[in-house]
Amino acid sequence: MNVINTLISFATAYLLGSIPVAVWGGKWFHGIDIREHGSGNAGTTNVIRVLGWKTGIPVLLFDLGKGWLSTMMPVFLNASEPGSGTLVNLQIVAGLCSIAGHIYPVFAQFKGGKGVASMFGALLALQPLLTLCCFGVFLAVLLITGIVSISSIAAGIAFPLFLFIIFDTPSLFLKIFSVMVAIILITTHHKNIKRLIRGEEKKLISYKRN
């Protein structure tokens, strides 16, 4: 393992994750701080609600991309032998650094989003097929409920379940990380869970006719 390249990978992953595209996009193109509007979250769902799909989709793609790129940094910088278990472990840590950067961005007073899109990008880099299956769970729940938060939580819980039951792996670290994914998503959505219990959580998709 190349220690210097490993540390550079982790630092770069955190800084990439810290790029608050939702905050900067809101300020540069709309003259507002997205964290002061809607749910107050610097994430795709709130951007779509407040600023519309034309702003929300680029935010989503950028956040997804920075999660993927951050997780691939140990590979690009040759932090360890290609295909080795150590390299996968380093990628997992880099992905966590990116997610931490998104939730606590150094470039935005450490007030970021919930890290869903960045996490999706990181998981795509690690387990693309498994991640796409979880995305299918997200879409299914979203189409049924219209609520992004419960869809994200469902997909997060599905990740370790699918990994343990269908996509088994010899990597203990990856198994632990999969459980962390579910815990992180549940924890960062605690306010949404409270609103869900009270029946106050807003829907992104509504099937009610006017």
Every domain of the chain and the residues it spans: 1-113, 127-210
SS3 48: helix
Task: Please report which confidence band the pLDDT of residue 209 belongs to, taking 50, 70 and 90 as the band edges.
Answer: low
Tokens of 105: 């961005």
What does each C-alpha distance from 208 to 8, 18, 68, 139, 158 come to in angstroms? 50, 38, 36, 19, 29
What pLDDT, on a 0 to 100 scale, did the predictor assign at position 210? 47
Name, of 56-70, 155-169, 179-193, the range with top average pLDDT: 56-70
In 3D space, the residue among 64, 76, 166, 168 whose CA is nearest the CA of residue 119 turns out to be: 64
- The pLDDT mean for the chain works out to 90
Q: Which residue stretches of 77-127 are H helix? A: 85-103, 116-126
* pLDDT tens column, 34-58: 999 988 888 888 898 899 889 999 9
What pLDDT, on a 0 to 100 scale, did the predictor assign at position 208? 59
Task: Please report which confidence band the pLDDT of residue 182 belongs to, taking 50, 70 and 90 as the band edges.
Answer: very high
Is 160 a residue whose pLDDT tops 90? yes
* pLDDT tens column, 141-152: 999 999 989 999
What pLDDT, on a 0 to 100 scale, did the predictor assign at position 144? 92
Average pLDDT, stretch 127-135? 94
Average pLDDT, stretch 98-125? 92
pTM, full prediction? 0.86
SS3 87: helix
What pLDDT, on a 0 to 100 scale, did the predictor assign at position 134? 95
What pLDDT, on a 0 to 100 scale, did the predictor assign at position 120? 92
The Cα–Cα gap between 101 and 166 comes to 31
- Residue % of the chain over a pLDDT of 90: 66
Task: Please report which confidence band the pLDDT of residue 21 belongs to, taking 50, 70 and 90 as the band edges.
Answer: very high
